[in-house]
């Protein structure tokens, strides 16, 4: 794996860099072969909060975790645990759903044990509620106002300019995000 580690409002020391590479490198044990992937790490300090975000895009799988803590090393430990849970959850899902040759199942080792204290779901995911609604044409700002007015964390709408379906959402930092389909 190739590491891209950057810091915002802080200097990434060699000790921090080594710690991240050592901790994230342990994720390789979950794969049959070392994944060829870029590991994008963003470390940030806001007041007394240390924020770390790790994104590992791989073919057919995206691992992403973000953690906030008063200590950067503790935040690194927590975000790596999050990524491990994602791998285990995905492995369980893959084993259950896709049993044919050439699927993602063959990316992972078979001898994974479940995380201690973390139950792995054995029953299929179930949709418990459906909603239908008309997508009204609007811009992102109007969609954010609608979302806030409803008290939701996200809002699906039809973009007034290009007619595509888009989603606005509220981020953990209180700002807003926009998801648009690729052309």
Alpha carbon 26 to its chain centroid, in Å, reads 18
Q: How confident is the model at residue 45, as a pLDDT?
A: 93
What CATH class has 137-179? alpha beta
Q: Does 158 score more than 70 pLDDT?
A: yes
- CATH for 2-107, among 3.30.160.100, 3.30.1360.170, 3.40.50.460, 2.70.98.20? 3.30.160.100
Average pLDDT over residues 138-151: 84
Residues 144-182 as b/e (b if ≥16 CB within 10 A, e otherwise) read beebeeeeeeebbbebeeeeeebbbbbeeeeebeeeeee
C-alpha dihedral sign at 7, 9, 14, 17: negative
pLDDT digits (tens, 9 = 90+) for 1-39: 889 999 998 899 999 999 999 999 888 888 777 778 889
Q: At what angle do helices 72-97 and 14-25 cross, to 10 degrees?
A: 20
pLDDT digits (tens, 9 = 90+) for 37-96: 889 999 999 988 999 999 988 877 788 889 999 999 999 999 999 998 888 887 776 666
Task: Please write down the HEC assignment for all residues of 143-179.
Answer: HHHHHHHHCCCEEEEEECCCCCEEEEEECCCCCEEEE
DSSP secondary structure of 20-50: HHHHHHGGGGGBSS----EEEEEEEEETTEE
DSSP SS3 for 105: helix
Q: Does 114 score more than 70 pLDDT?
A: no
What is the domain partition of the chain in residue ranges?
2-107, 137-179
């Amino acid at each position: 794996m190739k590491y891209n580690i950057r810091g915002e409002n802080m200097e990434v020391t060699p000790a921090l860099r080594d710690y991240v590479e050592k901790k994230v490198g342990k994720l390789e044990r979950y794969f049959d072969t070392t994944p060829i992937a870029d590991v994008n790490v963003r470390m940030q300090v806001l007041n007394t909060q240390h924020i770390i975000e790790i994104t590992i895009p791989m073919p057919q799988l995206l691992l992403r975790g973000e953690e906030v803590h008063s200590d950067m090393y503790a935040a690194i430990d927590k975000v790596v645990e999050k990524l491990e849970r994602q791998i285990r959850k995905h492995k369980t899902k893959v084993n259950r759903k896709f049993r044919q040759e050439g699927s993602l199942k063959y990316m992972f080792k078979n001898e994974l044990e479940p995380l201690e204290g973390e139950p792995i779901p054995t029953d299929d995911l179930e949709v418990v509620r459906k909603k239908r609604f008309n997508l009204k044409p609007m811009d992102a700002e109007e969609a954010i106002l609608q979302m806030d007015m409803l008290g939701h964390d996200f809002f699906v709408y039809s973009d007034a300019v290009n007619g595509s379906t888009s989603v606005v959402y509220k981020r953990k930092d209180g700002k807003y995000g926009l998801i648009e389909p690729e052309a």
